[in-house]
Structure 1
Amino acid sequence: MKNIAIIGASGYTGAELIRLIATHPGMRIAALAANSKAGQKMSAVFPFLRHLDLPELVTWEQIDFSAIDLCFCALPHKTSQEVISQLPKTLKIVDLSADFRLRDAAAYKTWYGNDHAALEMQEEAVYGLTEFYRDQIASARLVAGTGCNAATGQFTLRPLISAGVIGLDDIILDMKCAVSGAGRSLKENLLHAELSEGYNAYSVGGTHRHLGEFDQEFSLLAGREVRIQFTPHLLPVNRGILSTGYVSGDARTIHATLEKAYADEPFVQVLPFGQTPSTHDVRGSNFVHIGVTGDRIEGRAIVVTVLDNLCKGSSGQAVQNANLMLGLPETEGLMLAPLFP
């Protein structure tokens, strides 16, 4: 059994990590940190976990990392780099924040508004989109988990850009996102009375931070600058992301390209041509479902992709990466069926 520590265990992604690792046959939760709730039991913070025998919450400074095989860091950006830079240099780490996703320090400052305080570690980090960085992740010490929106968009577009079957100058991603993606901290606009029975766009006009990941990854794939149009929308639901991608290219070719790219991927399902998925189909799971249909306008196609933002978009992806880093089967602990209804 591999001993696991989770820093930031009192947030949504921390709780999701605990939910997944609790039944993982190769991992044991040895330490849980949440500085703001240190001294409390997890059953008090998250009653849905009260059936588990979990360590009491402590500050991260109190953890004996000499006994830890891998640490998940589920802290906000900026805080995460400050903590990780003080952890043992031999410790395997999967970071769920944005702090190590962008390879260019200037790009990080542009999108996140502050200088990076751990540049030497930023250079060491491997981007954590498992299906596309599998070999590098397996030998990495520090893996940077993707943004949940960024993961959804990349599952849609990476194979298509690599194969050259879509135009690169007219890509549009329209994304619908669950409220849990905003985190657990109190925000007025996320109160039930403010959020329910409504639906709104946010970060409109190219200001969403995950565009930094799209710019980095798509331009690297294409060998030229690629900038997409991307607008996220906030839904009054707890889990899930649905991305509708509008691209130019032959719809049947696009579908065949995605089928070929994901044929051997255990977590990515490409639906028969003309079918599109729902967030219901992947809720609570590590699966991605992708559907392709043609448009009435010749030479245009629509690609619909869904995943669970807390699982495949964050904590499930983190466990998938940790499996590789620890020499465990990649799918171990992650083949649970989606929740329905």
Structure 2
Amino acid sequence: MKICIVGASGYSGRELVSLLLDHPRCTLQTVTSRSLNGKAVEDCIPKIRGRGCPLSFSNPSIENLQEDDSELFFLALPHGAAAEFAVPLLAAGKKVIDLSADFRLNCPETYEEFYGQPHPAPEWLKRASYGLPELHELSWDNSPLIASPGCYPTSILIPLVPLLRENIIREEGVVANSMSGISGAGRNASEKLLYCERNESAGAYGLPKHRHLSEIEEQLSHFSSSQVVISFQPHLAPMNRGICTTISVQAEGVPDRKKVADSWNAIYGNRSFVNLLPEGEFPDVSHVVGTNRIDLSVHADPRTGKYVLCSAEDNLIKGAGGQAIQAMNVCQGYDESEGLK
């Protein structure tokens, strides 16, 4: 399959380049970046040196991209900008996987509430597929547009959704606390992201309505019998990459770890990238960085009548580029792990 990555200068775009170069079913033939136009890709992404990448960054117009013979376009662009490319590419008959937030929501009013601007292409919101392969049936027959989930939502939805569907937990009072590596803030220069500002420092941000909250609540409500509202507290931690999430939820009845573990195993037991840890172990970011895996653990707390659910993932792979490739694999009929192990 012939592939183009639009906007490959950021952290997620660079991971896409590295992963797709080794994908046995794909040919990466176009890589775009306005800021790096004309430069050799391997000079700008040193980790891929020695892997025979002959490409240079280009900065084609949207019209030129419509005429490009790539079959699938990965958009690694900021929200708002991605839709400007997605709509004309779709009109030209291309397939699109968007890593931004532009098509993750069904409701244009919610998008405007959380992103501070009207949606640029509201007609595509209900037509796009939410690209979380473990929870949604993905197919190009369903939609040529895949909205790749956010990093925080992935870490929260995978542990929670099966338990909501089976009424193992209550919908009310869900509290999710997440810690993200600095790369989650993007690659743009910012004083608050300088080494001296972030080293030996951790703190909450984006409270009380981080943008990803809209996506999390919409997806949880989709799998539940009613509108789900949660409390979500993201934190920036002094690490390069990774997300660690801890979720406190009220059990239906007496908390029973086996009930949760059985539910997860029934849904994820045959999936390549969800790993349930043995009792007593906790997910650790250092164990998943560089992989498309998400590790889970569950701990029953009879004292409070709650479960404590934990997850860890690489925000740039399972939370971004790797998951987008996993969605492509599923839609193409490949093994979901191709190019990712």
With normalisation by structure 1, the TM-score equals 0.94
Moved more, 124-133 or 273-282: 273-282
Q: 1:152-231 to 2 correspondence within 5 Å?
A: 152-205=155-208, 207-231=209-233
| CA deviation map 1:266-303 (0-9, x unaligned) | 11011123321111111110111101112261421211
Q: 1:65-144 to 2 correspondence within 5 Å?
A: 65-89=67-91, 90-136=93-139, 139-144=142-147
SS at match of 1:302: strand
Q: Does 1:31 align with 2:30?
A: yes
The residue that corresponds to 2:152 in the other structure is 149
Q: Does 1:251 align with 2:253?
A: no
Whole-Å separation in 2 of the counterparts to 1:63 and 1:225: 40
The residue that corresponds to 1:3 in the other structure is 2
Whole-Å separation in 2 of the counterparts to 1:283 and 1:38: 30
SS at match of 2:5: strand
Displacement of 1:6 in angstroms is 0.2
| CA deviation map 1:208-240 (0-9, x unaligned) | 001101111111211211101110110111111
Q: Does 1:307 align with 2:297?
A: no
Contact 1:3-1:29 at 8 Å conserved across structures: yes
1:64/1:99 CA distance change after superposition, 3 Å: closer
SS at match of 1:303: strand
Contact 2:139-2:330 at 8 Å conserved across structures: no
User: Which residue identity lines up with residue 215 of structure 2 in the other structure?
Assistant: E
Contact 1:137-1:321 at 8 Å conserved across structures: no
Contact 1:8-1:73 at 8 Å conserved across structures: yes
| CA deviation map 1:174-193 (0-9, x unaligned) | 11111111111111110001
Whole-Å separation in 2 of the counterparts to 1:150 and 1:142: 19
Q: Identity over aligned residues, as a percent?
A: 34
Whole-Å separation in 2 of the counterparts to 1:196 and 1:227: 33
The residue that corresponds to 2:272 in the other structure is 266
Contact 1:29-1:54 at 8 Å conserved across structures: no
User: Which residue identity lines up with residue 245 of structure 1 in the other structure?
Assistant: I
Number of matched pairs: 333
Whole-Å separation in 1 of the counterparts to 2:112 and 2:147: 17
1:88/1:214 CA distance change after superposition, 3 Å: closer
| CA deviation map 1:133-188 (0-9, x unaligned) | 13446643000011100111001201111111111111111111111111111111
Whole-Å separation in 1 of the counterparts to 2:276 and 2:16: 26
User: Which residue identity lines up with residue 295 of structure 1 in the other structure?
Assistant: D
Contact 1:42-1:50 at 8 Å conserved across structures: no
Displacement of 1:65 in angstroms is 4.1
| CA deviation map 1:68-95 (0-9, x unaligned) | 1211000000011112222252101100
User: Which residue identity lines up with residue 148 of structure 1 in the other structure?
Assistant: C
1:137/1:198 CA distance change after superposition, 3 Å: farther
Whole-Å separation in 2 of the counterparts to 1:131 and 1:57: 33
The residue that corresponds to 2:338 in the other structure is 332
Q: 1:42-57 to 2 correspondence within 5 Å?
A: 42-52=41-51, 53-57=53-57
Displacement of 1:41 in angstroms is 1.3
SS at match of 1:222: coil
Displacement of 1:329 in angstroms is 2.1
The residue that corresponds to 1:239 in the other structure is 241
Contact 2:135-2:158 at 8 Å conserved across structures: no
Whole-Å separation in 1 of the counterparts to 2:129 and 2:335: 19
Whole-Å separation in 2 of the counterparts to 1:211 and 1:54: 40
SS at match of 1:35: coil
Displacement of 1:45 in angstroms is 2.0
The residue that corresponds to 1:339 in the other structure is none
Moved more, 217-226 or 71-80: 217-226
Unmatched 5+ residue regions in structure 2? none
Moved more, 306-315 or 129-138: 129-138
Runs of 4+ in 1 over 6 A off after TM superposition: none
Contact 2:159-2:311 at 8 Å conserved across structures: yes
